[in-house]
Chains A and B, each alone.
Chain A
């Protein structure tokens, strides 16, 4: 037998501890981490989020005090008392803290909720009446990427005050279910920490998959020797490019035919960024898999790396995609993935006719989604030998198609199951692990799990495209915009996933916010040997709005106009048509957007009042103080689905007790789709929301849906649900009409009954259902499909108040206001949660978040220790204003809400910074040091104009 280093079997030791009140004795290895042991023992409420003690998802109470179980050896828990989230609820009755988190809308994806509930419980045990400051301090070790912390903090304070949530925004009469802040349908299970996520199961015989990442930014694999790895006991498969089919594809989760280039392979003989796949192994434990990776010998021919996007197109630069079989690349020889050239009118002519033309350059960084649940996939063969993929994905149906194509299986042989998702934000609109995990299952015929560690997530997953933008605008003296032009250079990283579409959005969703007879958008998207960019909440817009909204502010200042006034003069209004979108579709010709609803004026007005715009713009300052305050504003819009591309379907059947089964292919990423869709179904069917059982995102059992992206869920999936429910209601009324001897027109569904409109008779839905099932022998069941040829934009006005330390450059954001027109909010509390989460992600983007690479293209901050996402202590006062409009194309007047608010914080803060200290920072993030440098440069200029002062 091959002599291979075998992992020394570690010594075992017994520990005994009391956990959730029960005495347990476990055998552990002395090096076992407590988190691993707890999950192994089935305490799935203890989540793995970072394994560096930063995120708090693995929080447990140790002798009553919250600790990170990823920071402890299991042996340290010997003789101690532990409480996990499983020990909080008494059977099905939630602990008051859990209950409050659910009722206050503080649960979104629910991945951080167990840890947060435990920390809050411990806080209230020692300090029953904490201040908001104390709650924020306590919760600051529980990172949440969804909520922006406002609702969790409110929930904890409410428990302390024994308050019930008051939802002032709920609409009293208009609708029964829509417009009501009903509690999320999945809230209780998430708050209780029940096993709902991909990794919360133990699959018998499961192997652990690991991917060998490339240490080089650009290299060819000359030789790869996996023999030692294969010989390691416990290793069941090692795959290299020699072992798998070579099918060019894109990992972008987009409708077929995807507009992204087919430039990616399951495994390739070339690696194109630090973290690119070299090989994959499946082994009996994570440790063996890791050891096997170390035993794979790879000989690389290191190639020159293209790291700088500005030089990527030059002659003589290394060619990243020199493989002959890639398709859809614009100009591979010059590393150009795609270009966009669009013009409405004649921009040059517009600038010629302008009184004031300003052109500025802006730079934006790589940001990562940092959802608390890293990517994770488990695959197995079911008894029929069909491939089952259980995965944390936003796009079950695209994954099914892509994996089938890559592994050369019929789609029919693949089933994708989406359990709960611990946050996505676009990062899971990508087929990232499913193909390689499935390949390992096919190779071993065993269940295989691959999950990224936080570090792998940073190295190997996706990010927001960095861009260099040149923004130019021409105005008349009175502030009328004549022409706007944006020239963008973007890096898609090593692969072109979402390359043309994200950047297309940078133009098509940004420029038309202001009416201009002349618009021009030029964009080059280049390959570099850097981490791959992809879809990320905002999808190209945060970059574009940062440039446009900062430049508009600058022009307002030069024209001596109030920035709001200048905006109002030029903003798009109801009845206008955005023609640029007709030119810039999803990688093809698009569709013009007609503004059927537009509340941007009201957003500006109400937002300005909330921040105290008029007073604060003219407030006198203390010249002696090193602290200066300022306020700034930015506007934004987005879309609701991809016009003419996105579509969804639903299936609803009546159960024999008068409840309904709603099947939808839609993937709730934590934003509340399951709840919103249940509300739409309940509203249409005239039943209460608890009568809807929703089943979502299983390709075997739910009808097709493109997935959760592009702010499409409420309008597209919701539209499909409404249509389906209407058909079901028609069937219900037909039958009721026969039973009640009243014509269907004289009947309505209301409060779980079928009632005569004139009030003369009623029939409980349950009675009708039983009758249909057992007397009529009839299954009432309908389905419908839905798409729209427009993409109604939600609008947002963001206001920021900042306090700038003029010595250190530190910006403290005091208050952020987001006023959003999302049409009719189907669930106002959930809608607020979307806004607050987006604003907080936008705040991180504005101030601190950045993936930094060294001179070899290797990320230098791949952990939450060094890549900071904001904690409860970092997030300022957030005010959310929902400005209601009626969108004719949306179900019950709804538009989208998931993305638009992420666009505002960066430009609003940049503008507030200018108002405070008179400097413009045109790069992101705006770190304290950037401000410090800019202030020093400014000192050397002869005069510093008082920011925002009118002439």
Chain B
């Protein structure tokens, strides 16, 4: 029970919300969907700032980018035909994995990212999509690439700011995406989750690649060395195997109740390779 909460704020504007957050002491807590907040074992929270009234629940697309308001729920993402059609639907697929329907009807995209869980389901697809986070603070708004957003377990660039929007730049034409996930059960956190983007030219030479992993490092990350190995190369099964091994080598998994570090590393390799193969097959590339 949150018996120490003395105040429940419902700011109506981003400015007001930012001001409340700026004034806050350590025990003022931002409340989005609440599904992670309620699980916090430390229940010393004294004030809640509910950001549901800021008009941040939207999915918009223009020529350059897709913009998703931070209060958009996981259920809205998975049901959105727009999100289902973008990037082979990997973001919709990831959103559908965020707990049961009851949780997904509350949990928000902003919350999933700002909570900073290493296993955040939406992080790998968004990393593979070169997404950026729009943060607001007293000085105004700024954009932070998602690669710079996560800094450690439950540590993000949004620590002293409000995450208001996620911007996904329009993907280069002819890019295929895939996400892969292994979990103990259908409703468990991932042991490993992976998202991959791949673009090939007519010679099956890789012109663009993104490989993102979740749950196998202190934060979701892109396997840059593995991506680099793909750049400009003709894609073969062997190359994908090598790249997948390289991506796994970049992981820093820990042993926990979902698996040993050794296992998670190997699963990283397998899932990265499967994602690459699936992208290739979506590009109708014969391996």
A810 interface residue, CB < 8 Å from B? yes
| Nearest A residue to B41, CB-CB | A455
Any B CB within 8 A of the CB of A871: yes
What mask results when residues 79 to 115 of chain B are scored 1 for a CB within 8 Å of chain A, else 0?
A: 0000000000000000010011111011000000000
Task: Return A861 CB to nearest CB of chain B, in Å.
Answer: 5
Q: Are B182 and A810 in contact (CB under 8 A)?
A: yes
In angstroms, Cα B2 to Cα A54, docked, is: 19
The stretch of B32-40, B132-140, B202-210 that contacts the partner chain: B32-40
Contacts of A141 in B (CB 8 A): 99-103, 187
Contact with B along A2-13 (1 / 0, CB 8 A): 000001101101
Does B172 reach chain A (CB closer than 8 Å)? no
Chain B 174-193 interface mask (CB, 8 Å, partner A; 1/0): 00000000101111110100
Chain B CB count within 10 A is highest, among A10, A31, A65, A290, for: A31
- A52 and B41 CA atoms in complex are apart in Å by 11
A13 contacts B185, C-beta separation under 8 Å:
no
Residue pair B7, A73 in contact (C-beta under 8 Å): no
CA distance A59 to B266 in the complex (A): 38
For the complex, count residues of B whose C-beta is within 8 A of A: 43
Residues of B within 8 A of A810 (CB): 182
> When the two chains form their complex, are residues B106 and A30 in contact, meaning their CB atoms are under 8 A apart?
no
State in angstroms the CA–CA spacing of A866 and B185 once bound together.
11
Task: Return the contact of A67 from the options B47, B106, B188, B191 (Cβ within 8 A).
Answer: B106
- Contact of A426 with B by CB under 8 A: no
CA gap between A684 and B34 in the complex, in Å:
56
Choose one: B4, B102, B187; the contact of A119 (CB below 8 Å): B102
Contact yes or no, A31 B34, CB < 8 A: no
> Contacts A53-B99, A76-B34, A119-B101: A71 and B106 contacting too (C-beta < 8 A)?
yes
Q: Give the Cβ gap from A889 to chain B, nearest Cβ, in Å.
A: 41
Q: Is the CB of B257 within 8 A of A860?
A: yes
A33 is an interface residue with CB less than 8 A from chain B: yes
Contact of A30 with B7 in the complex, beta carbons under 8 Å: yes
Q: Contacts A56-B100, A66-B105, A927-B184 given; indicate if A29 touches B38 (C-beta within 8 A).
A: no
A874-B103 in contact (CB<8A): no
- Chain A, residues 338-370, CB within 8 Å of chain B (1/0): the string is 000000000000000000000000000000000
A860–B256 CA distance with the chains assembled, in angstroms = 10
A132 to chain B, nearest CB (A): 14
Identify the closest chain A residue to B271 (Cβ): A808
Closest chain-B Cβ to A478's Cβ sits at a distance in Å of 43
Whether B1 contacts A36 by the Cβ 8 Å rule is yes
Q: Which residues of B contact A142 (CB under 8 A)?
A: 100, 102
- Kindly state whether residue B75 has any CB partner on chain A within 8 Å: yes
Residues of A within 8 A of B260 (CB): 929
**Interface band, chain A:** 35 or more
Determine whether B3 belongs to the interface, using a CB cutoff of 8 Å to chain A.
Answer: yes
Q: How far is the CA of A155 from the CA of B8 in the complex (A)?
A: 42
- Contact partner of B50 (CB less than 8 A), chosen from A71, A76, A852, A870, is A76
- The interface residues of chain A lying within 8 Å CB-to-CB of B31 are 73, 76
Min distance, Cβ B150 to any Cβ of chain A, angstroms: 21
Q: How many Å lie between the Cα of A928 and that of B181 in the bound state? A: 13
Shortest Cβ distance from B258 into A: residue: A866
A246 at the binding interface (Cβ < 8 Å): no
CB B20 to nearest CB in A, in angstroms, measures 14
Q: Is A932 an interface residue (CB 8 A)?
A: yes
A893-933 at interface with B (beta carbon < 8 Å): 927-929, 932-933
How far in angstroms is the closest Cβ of chain A from B52?
7
Question: A848 contacts which chain B residues (CB < 8 A)?
Answer: 184-185
Interchain nearest-CB distance for B79 vs A (Å): 9
Q: Who on chain B is nearest to A61 by CB?
A: B105
B227-276, CB < 8 A from A: 257, 259-260, 263, 266-267, 270
Please name all residues of chain B whose beta carbon is closer than 8 Å to the beta carbon of A36 when the two chains form the complex: 1
The yes or no answer to A70 lying at the interface (CB within 8 A) is yes
User: Using a CB-CB cutoff of 8 Å, which residues 832-882 of chain A contact chain B?
Assistant: 848, 852, 860-861, 865-866, 868, 870-871, 873-874
Q: B35 near A53 (CB under 8 angstroms)?
A: yes
**At the interface, yes or no: B279 with Cβ under 8 Å from chain A?**
no
| A66 interface neighbour in B4, B50, B101, Cβ under 8 Å | B101
| Cross-chain contact of A76 among B3, B39, B52, B99 (Cβ < 8 A) | B52
Q: Are B105 and A33 in contact (CB under 8 A)?
A: no
Residue on B with the closest CB to A72? B34
A68: interface (CB < 8 Å): yes
Task: Known A871-B187, A929-B259; judge A71-B101 contact (CB<8 A).
Answer: no
Q: How far is the CA of A12 from the CA of B26 in the complex (A)?
A: 22
Is the C-beta of A664 less than 8 angstroms from some C-beta in chain B?
no
B192: nearest residue on chain A (CB-CB)?
A808
Closest Cβ of chain A: how far from B92's Cβ, in Å? 13
Interface members, chain A 29-55 (any B CB < 8 Å): 29-33, 36, 52-54
Task: Tell me whether B6 and A10 are in contact (CB under 8 A).
Answer: yes
Give the distance to chain A from B65, nearest Cβ to Cβ, in Å.
28
- Cα distance, A286 to B43, chains bound together (Å): 14
CA–CA, A142 and B100, complex, Å: 8
Answer whether residue B171 sits at the interface, using C-beta atoms and an 8 A cutoff: no
Q: Which residues of A contact B47 (CB under 8 A)?
A: 30
Verify if A492 is at the interface (C-beta below 8 Å from B). no
Q: State how many angstroms separate the Cβ of A55 from the closest Cβ of chain B.
A: 9
Any B CB within 8 A of the CB of A533 = no
How long is the Cα–Cα vector from A393 to B266 in the complex, in angstroms?
A: 47
CA distance A33 to B48 in the complex (A): 13
B5 touches A10 (CB 8 A): yes
Flag whether A287 is at the interface (Cβ < 8 A).
Answer: yes
Give me the interface of A with B, judged by CB distance under 8 Å.
Answer: 7-8, 10-11, 13, 29-33, 36, 52-54, 56, 59, 62, 65-68, 70-73, 75-76, 119, 137-138, 140-142, 286-287, 290, 807-808, 810, 848, 852, 860-861, 865-866, 868, 870-871, 873-874, 927-929, 932-933
A and B contact pairs by CB, cutoff 8 A, 8 listed:
A10-B4, A31-B3, A65-B75, A71-B34, A71-B35, A73-B2, A286-B1, A287-B1
